[in-house]
A and B are shown apart, each in its own frame.
With several copies, the nearest count.
Chain A
């Protein structure tokens, strides 16, 4: 169908935009209307609907070779259509995708001379329909940089405050009020790092002794109360990876030895559920292990956990994998093994009733799409920048 759509001259997604959501199409006219008849073809600028399709995916590109020019690509994992680009800026990690406002947020770092000069860190607000930057909030030039995770920044569950992890190497969190469009303040989190939202006005950070720091914000976004848990693992024995995934009121993390640590965040204090292993004894003998950049994904409604697997020693805990194993979170049973078409460092699953499994390898500018039920490779979307890291669905 796409091919025939294409031939009629108007791209599929543009027609969707106009027909289904009556989205704004920004027409750049030629000065005055009287030129219109002289110019048979109008030049326009495309726009997107306020509500995205569930199979539209943000593909985050840190542009490792040119890290001050990060980008995110919006692609339709069904039609393979490339929908648009966000130029997100330096040291790009991930987008924040609020559901209560047609906006997208991204923290970024800029220098007056690209790689040198004066540093400025900002949160940029993009319009979800036009993909244009519409506002920015300057934050302290302290953002934590390096390999991206989903926890380098976050929105509180009420979507009011954006949290940005800092490391200078002193550890802290910048709080930005996205409603008032202002920087609220910096919360010191000594010995603890990254931001995992755990409630309307609450987040937690990972500490070096294997504990979690919970920070409660007041109505204005200030640090109201901090509480530190008991250590729930030994970081020198079997470190828990920070590359976790949230499923409802739990955060799931996996240790280097593929032990699942589930943290219940329903209450004021995190509760640590009994650990369980992704591996059988035979898996362990065969050296199976989780690895990658974004190595866990969940389908919330179905209660499924997807893990990116490879074989290797402890020092391969960040290596790509070409297997995805699927677990039923209720029974903790492995229900499926999927063989990917190639190595992947990131996996993601769309959250709709007819989900897609998505995979990407940082060394290959391509998104691959699978059926999560059968493991069948459905399609690939290529020419996506240079170094794909986090995959984000709506």
Chain B
């Protein structure tokens, strides 16, 4: 439970910080235009590692290399709209959306090298839901009492708006290395 406790503690602190920030920039007309500085997710930090070993996605079999497809290898625990269908990519939020600072974490196997990687599913927020390429996968998903492992939670938190638009699937390290 150490991991979870730390997660909750860190979030609680962050939300307190965010509250004043929201009051400063959150009103319409003074919406932040990018350049946000986001703190690192501790879960992510703990397991982060270089991705030199990631196989070229062009060589992956079937649709496992196509981030607009639900079978894309990194989407193994996604429940929502992949941003690659919404004007973003597997690592980029669509224009005008805000990257969520907090997130849920999955573990997906890369079919190129059969290694497991930690995936951060960050939601992109602030526009009405994208509605394209709906993916519903729940590998490793846990109930909401384990927040960092649950995709049933709207992870648009700590953002100026909590409206969910789409999700990116970012490799943050090899599984087991953290």
Direct contact between A and B judged by beta carbons closer than 8 A: yes
A44 contacts B91, CB within 8 Å?
A: yes
B1 contacts A208, CB within 8 Å?
A: yes
Which of B133, B139, B147 meets A167, CB within 8 Å?
B147
In the complex formed, the residue of A with least CB distance to B23 is A118
B38 contacts A192, CB within 8 Å?
A: no
A206 to B150, CA, bound (A): 14
Those of A230-280 within 8 Å (CB) of chain B: 235, 239-242
A239 to B91, CA, bound (A): 30
> Can you list 10 pairs linking A and B with CB atoms under 8 Å apart?
A43-B120, A68-B163, A113-B28, A115-B163, A130-B95, A132-B33, A133-B29, A169-B15, A194-B144, A208-B146
Those of B67-105 within 8 Å (CB) of chain A: 67-68, 79, 84-99, 102
What is A's interface to B at a CB cutoff of 8 Å?
4, 6-11, 14, 24, 26, 28-31, 35, 37-48, 63-69, 71, 74, 82-87, 91, 109, 111-119, 126-127, 129-136, 144-147, 149, 167-171, 190-194, 206-209, 235, 239-242, 315-318, 383, 385
A147 contacts B152, CB within 8 Å?
A: yes
A45 to B5, CA, bound (A): 30
Q: Name the B residues within 8 Å of A242 (CB-CB).
A: 143-145
Which of A11, A37, A69, A136 meets B28, CB within 8 Å?
A136
B36 contacts A28, CB within 8 Å?
A: yes
Q: Name the B residues within 8 Å of A318 (CB-CB).
A: 79, 136, 138, 141, 152
Contact with A along B113-137 (1 / 0, CB 8 A): 0000000101010111111110011
B91 contacts A42, CB within 8 Å?
A: yes
A132 to B66, CA, bound (A): 27
Q: Name the A residues within 8 Å of B124 (CB-CB).
A: 45
Which of A44, A116, A316 meets B92, CB within 8 Å?
A44
Which of A40, A85, A133, A206 meets B128, CB within 8 Å?
A85
Q: Name the B residues within 8 Å of A207 (CB-CB).
A: 145
B140 interface residue, CB < 8 Å from A?
yes
In the complex formed, the residue of A with least CB distance to B96 is A131
Query: A118 to nearest B CB, angstroms?
Result: 6
A35 to B120, CA, bound (A): 15
In the complex formed, the residue of B with least CB distance to A365 is B131
Query: A257 to nearest B CB, angstroms?
Result: 13
Query: A9 to nearest B CB, angstroms?
Result: 5
Q: Name the B residues within 8 Å of A241 (CB-CB).
A: 143
A9 contacts B89, CB within 8 Å?
A: yes
Query: B105 to nearest A CB, angstroms?
Result: 13
Those of B133-178 within 8 Å (CB) of chain A: 133, 136-147, 152-154, 156-157, 160-165, 168, 170-173
A239 contacts B142, CB within 8 Å?
A: yes
In the complex formed, the residue of A with least CB distance to B98 is A45
Q: Name the B residues within 8 Å of A126 (CB-CB).
A: 96
Which of B4, B34, B49, B87 meets A74, CB within 8 Å?
B87
A82 contacts B50, CB within 8 Å?
A: no
Q: Name the B residues within 8 Å of A146 (CB-CB).
A: 144, 152-154
Which of A116, A171, A316, A385 meets B131, CB within 8 Å?
A385
Q: Name the B residues within 8 Å of A66 (CB-CB).
A: 128-129
Q: Name the A residues within 8 Å of B68 (CB-CB).
A: 6
A271 to B126, CA, bound (A): 43
B4 contacts A133, CB within 8 Å?
A: no
A45 contacts B143, CB within 8 Å?
A: no
Query: A270 to nearest B CB, angstroms?
Result: 15
B35 interface residue, CB < 8 Å from A?
yes
